[in-house]
Structure 1
Amino acid sequence: GRLIDSHPDLVGNVIGASEETTTGVMKLKAMTNEGVLPFPVLAANDAKMKHLFDNRYGTGISSIAAILSNTNLFLSGKAVVVMGFGWVSRGLAKYADGMGARVIVCEPDPVKLLEAYSEGYQVMNSLEAAEVGDVFVTGTGNIKVLGLEHFGRMKDGALLANAGHYDHEFDLAGLQEVSVGSREVRRNVTEYELADGRRLHVLARGRLVNIAAADGHPVEIMDLTFAVQALAAHHLASHAKDFGPGIQTIPADIDDLVARHKLASLGVEPETLTEEQIRYQQSWR
């Protein structure tokens, strides 16, 4: 968007691009729908080898690790409220659950919320969860999923962390306005005192906790994402004439290639179907 708005004279030199973030793909889809994206962009985030691993496992483990390392909390038995149940939030819920937390999921999509319930997590409305949560982690890609009404119900000492995008996932400006004071109680932990004496703790000033207050994803995860990005760029450069402007799907063979190379590095070879099995799958008789 910035290139198009600020340097339209350079747009004609762009063959294409690849976008690896959920938020970026969402914005680019909106630009495509409005007809303002003038060149092809491969949605690297939508590749299986990206979102199934980077979003879920990478963000999940690095965000929970960041929360623990910056607070020194014992997560077992605590109520961890996960906002959303997309791939990022699934990872957050998985690793919080693995640490012994009581996971509560809040999600507007009824299908995803039912999935969370079927995974064994407690599900409820976010305002109800605000009253019982010890730790709140957002992973929605949206804005103000936790706001003043939630803050007014939270218990003293509640902790808020963002694992979604930017610093918009909870209303930090609103929290600052209603607080009577704030102080840094630990590195990367800001305490906001409310008029009634309750204290809410915000990690990394509301920015992405695993990046702003920790080291980010494990390298074993990032090599998958970077492989997808590199192959996407190569594919664009090699097949530029095959694409029109707008957001485009990553070819499935890129997923397959990255997965096979990763498995080979682990000394693992996928199962091979027999000719009889292939014929059976392809036949309707």
Structure 2
Amino acid sequence: MKGRVKDLSLAEQGRLKLEWAMKHMPVLMRLREEGRDKRPLAGLRIGAVLHVTKETGVLMMALKDSGAEEVVLAASNPLSTQDDVAAALVEYGIRVYAWRGQSSEEYYWCIRQVAESRPDIVLDDGGDLHAMLHSEYKKLAGEITGGTEETTTGVIRLKSLEREGLLLYPVVAVNNAYTKFLFDNRYGTGQSTFDGIMRATNILVAGKNVVVAGYGWVGKGIALRARGLGARRVIVTEVDPIRALEAVFDGFEVMPMSEAAGIGDIFVTATGNKAVIRREHFEKMKDGAILANAGHFNVEVWIPDLESLSVRKRVIRENVTEYTLRDGRKLYLLAEGRLVNLVAAEGHPSEVMDMSFANQYLAVKYLHENKGRLEKKVYNPPRELDEMVARLKLETMGIKIDELTPEQAEYLKSWSYGT
């Protein structure tokens, strides 16, 4: 069975997108070429629930070309699939269950197909596959060598399983690789979030007041890009005092959402939590305020409150839903509250996903090579693999760096040198 996608006739268009991504993902392409020669994943069955984009496609092809017996892919969001890429991957021999615009039932049906393929190693983005395996497929989960997780949200869910003693296989938290979160979360999400907002609305960011909820690495990137695009004020809301203090020292205004609600023209959530913008905030917002979410799930802008406050709802542009409140004010929700960068745009640039997916590839290889030797825990990626990705990325960019002299290396290892 080849899976289920929207339209196989879109494959040629998808191949062109994959070709474009390959040109901008030199680290992963180098690993893929090495994998073709050495076939380090020979015989493995791999199941993945990731955003089905051109960048993900390059990763899936690299895994297959490195010897994987079968690669099965489903989408990690009902609206993020690039249907032409999905078709091209099926043509390449990857079993894909993904199409844009899935219902909730269809979304989880697709993830079940991945679980039921009896994978040896699983890759996830957000934790829905891991959660399903630990609730509906415990016997199958007990046979899995290990898994990976791409997102902060997913790592939080897996850490919860580990704390409760319920984790059934070791997981490498790819999200925690420095070459992932310092670049993908910050620069990738920062740029692609505004790409999505501007494609959906065609508004000018310069001169607007932008409110960013959350100042983790994703929030930092969004705030940085808002300032770079000329936002008049960039306001950060936070619950963590250390992150709030960091935002202040980075030059941003910090205040509670209850205050920011009446100031913002554009609101972007990036917290991983629910109901970050809710009834009391909607009630204070300006007419015409724009609401976007950059977190994994569509729970940060609390849609039930927005629905209950509204007397009319209509789609006014693709990916823009207008809510008319009882007093006549209009609020505009982008991408149905889902990941705006993937629903209204194409997700992160290939250059930054090059590092993220190189980490995914190396994590799969690491789990396979260490089968039976890892505890059922959430692991950070090994530092040497992180450094390998960084060195390869610098090399492909034509950048050289210094190396320690033997004397310097000895000095750093010794406790005996003083002033």
The TM tier, using the shorter chain, reads over 0.9
1:213 aligns with 2:344: yes
- 2: CA distance, partners of 1:4 / 1:163: 27
Match of 1:150 in 2: 281
Match of 1:169 in 2: 300
1:68 aligns with 2:179: no
**CA shift for structure 1 position 270:** 1.9
Matching residue's letter, 2:179: M
- 1: CA distance, partners of 2:340 / 2:360: 24
**CA shift for structure 1 position 268:** 1.1
TM-score, normalised on structure 2? 0.67
**CA shift for structure 1 position 116:** 0.4
Matching residue's letter, 1:37: L
Cα RMSD of the aligned pairs, angstroms, is: 0.9
1:269 aligns with 2:400: yes
Matching residue's letter, 2:187: Y
Which runs of no fewer than 5 residues in structure 2 stay unpaired?
1-130
**Residues 70-149 of structure 1 correspond to what in structure 2 (within 5 A)?**
70-101=200-231, 102-149=233-280
Deviations 1:26-57 (A, max 9, x none): 00000000011111001110110111111111
**CA shift for structure 1 position 266:** 0.6
**CA shift for structure 1 position 184:** 1.4
2:160 to 30, 35, 40: 30
Deviations 1:42-90 (A, max 9, x none): 1110110111111111111000111112111111111100000001000
Deviations 1:236-260 (A, max 9, x none): 1111233111211211011000011
- 2: CA distance, partners of 1:43 / 1:72: 36
Match of 2:391 in 1: 260
Larger mean CA deviation between 237-246 and 73-82 belongs to 237-246
- 1: CA distance, partners of 2:229 / 2:381: 35
**CA shift for structure 1 position 280:** 2.3
- 2: CA distance, partners of 1:281 / 1:164: 40
- 2: CA distance, partners of 1:254 / 1:235: 9
Larger mean CA deviation between 275-284 and 88-97 belongs to 275-284
Match of 1:182 in 2: 313
1:235 aligns with 2:366: yes
User: Does the residue aligned with 2:218 lie in a helix, a strand or coil?
Assistant: helix
User: Does the residue aligned with 1:242 lie in a helix, a strand or coil?
Assistant: coil
Matching residue's letter, 2:194: I
- 1: CA distance, partners of 2:142 / 2:317: 49
- 1: CA distance, partners of 2:146 / 2:164: 18
- 2: CA distance, partners of 1:180 / 1:227: 48
Which runs of no fewer than 5 residues in structure 1 stay unpaired?
none
- 2: CA distance, partners of 1:207 / 1:107: 21
- 1: CA distance, partners of 2:328 / 2:399: 57
User: Does the residue aligned with 1:132 lie in a helix, a strand or coil?
Assistant: coil
- 2: CA distance, partners of 1:194 / 1:260: 53
1:14 to 144, 160, 170: 144
Matching residue's letter, 2:310: S
1:49 aligns with 2:175: no
Deviations 1:97-132 (A, max 9, x none): 100012100011111001001011111111100010
TM-score, normalised on structure 1? 0.98
- 2: CA distance, partners of 1:281 / 1:76: 47
Matching residue's letter, 1:236: L
1:248 to 352, 375, 379: 379
Match of 2:34 in 1: none
